Structure 1
Amino acid sequence: MTAPKLLGLSGSLRAESFNSKLIREAARLFGNCSFAEADLRFSLYDGDEEAATGVPANVQAVERQIAEADAVVIATTEYNKGPSGVLKNALDWISRCEGNCWADKPVAVMSAAAGRAGGERAQLILRSFMVPFRPRILQGPEIHVANCSTQFDDQGQLTGEIYVKELGQLMQQLRAEIDR
């Protein structure tokens, strides 16, 4: 049997992003899979740009990755009580592609943030951003990694037992959702 294709979207572009580490941990705990991380380094959405040159090739490439994935894992940081502009911009650009690559796609949403709520507000808003796309967003367990700078070891693995346990459960549910 072919390993499922899992795609990760991180709402942070930093090289040492905790949200990028979180999607990699999700893939590790998911188990046997083909995992890729989407590159969300898109220009800011501009309708004039789209009208003049169409949807950029890098946006179309990520849209294809989503369409071809069996499931998607999205992690967002929390900036000013909401998801990052990087992630919102990516969703806006991807929505301009033909069709709906998200329709009925199993999606797990999670967050890692410096604050004590672990990005809970950002994750709630991100879930609302996804509604028009009609994916199958898993409802839990909710993963909000608080004080994220203290939650990963030098190899980028989660150290908090509860986070590892719950992320593992979420990935088991995502695997089951693929098979549904």
Structure 2
Amino acid sequence: MSLNVLAVCGSLRQKSTNKGLMRYAVANAPQGMQIVVADLSEVPFYNADITVKPATVMTLLQQFGAADALLLVCPEYNYSMAPALKNALDWASREPDNALLSGKPAAIMGAAGGMGSSRAQHHLRQSAVFLNLHILNQPEVFANAFSASFDGDGNLVDAAIQEKIRKQLAALQAWHRQLKG
């Protein structure tokens, strides 16, 4: 049985280093794990006045529902998480009883300047408490988005960070088994 993981990246730019982290994870998922990528580019901001969910939102919600676990790729905008990532979680959390998120294991990775999205990841962890997501504590994946760790197209080329991602994905598999029995 394959572990179905939904990767949700808060950066919308194709050549972003966060998408580079996600692309590496998708291409290097361990045996028994399938990673599906959510497309947030057309998802409108959550608004309770929207009574008929757009097709892009319905697709996203179906992806959350089908996922056994989440891979949250968290850029840092102004010391916090990117609005696109927060918005995706906001849409999913509004489903009855938070059924699309509650109890799901999740891993976080991210790239940014300075401390490599650590502040944004901390804010995401705070939101995860309310959402009842079970965030994997270790290994953590932080990358400096403005370093030689990435090529000009945002692809991850740093062997040490690649190894951390492979370890994080293996740990997410084990975390899922531990939580779900």
* TM-score of the aligned structures, taking structure 2 as reference length: 0.86
The root-mean-square deviation of aligned C-alpha atoms, in Å, is: 2.0
Aligned to 1:39: 39
Letter of the 2:9 counterpart: S
> How many pairs align?
175
Q: CA deviation at 1:155?
A: 7.8
Aligned to 2:136: 138
Is the contact made by 1:83 and 1:126 (CA closer than 8 Å) also made in structure 2?
yes
Unaligned runs of 5+ in 2: none
Deviation by residue 1:16-66 (Cα, 9 ceiling, x = unmatched): 1211221222233332332211112311222222xxx23333223212212
The answer to which of 116-125 and 85-94 deviates more is 85-94
Is the contact made by 1:119 and 1:144 (CA closer than 8 Å) also made in structure 2?
yes
The answer to which of 116-125 and 32-41 deviates more is 32-41
Q: Matched residues, percent identical?
A: 34
Q: 70, 76, 84: which one pairs with 1:78?
A: 76
Distance 2:146 2:166 in 1: 18
Q: CA deviation at 1:178?
A: 2.3
Q: CA deviation at 1:70?
A: 2.0
Q: 1:29 to 1:148 in 2, by over 3 A?
A: farther
Aligned to 2:62: 64
Q: CA deviation at 1:156?
A: 5.8
Distance 1:155 1:147 in 2: 12
Question: Could you say what secondary structure the match of 1:47 adopts?
Answer: coil
Unaligned runs of 5+ in 1: none
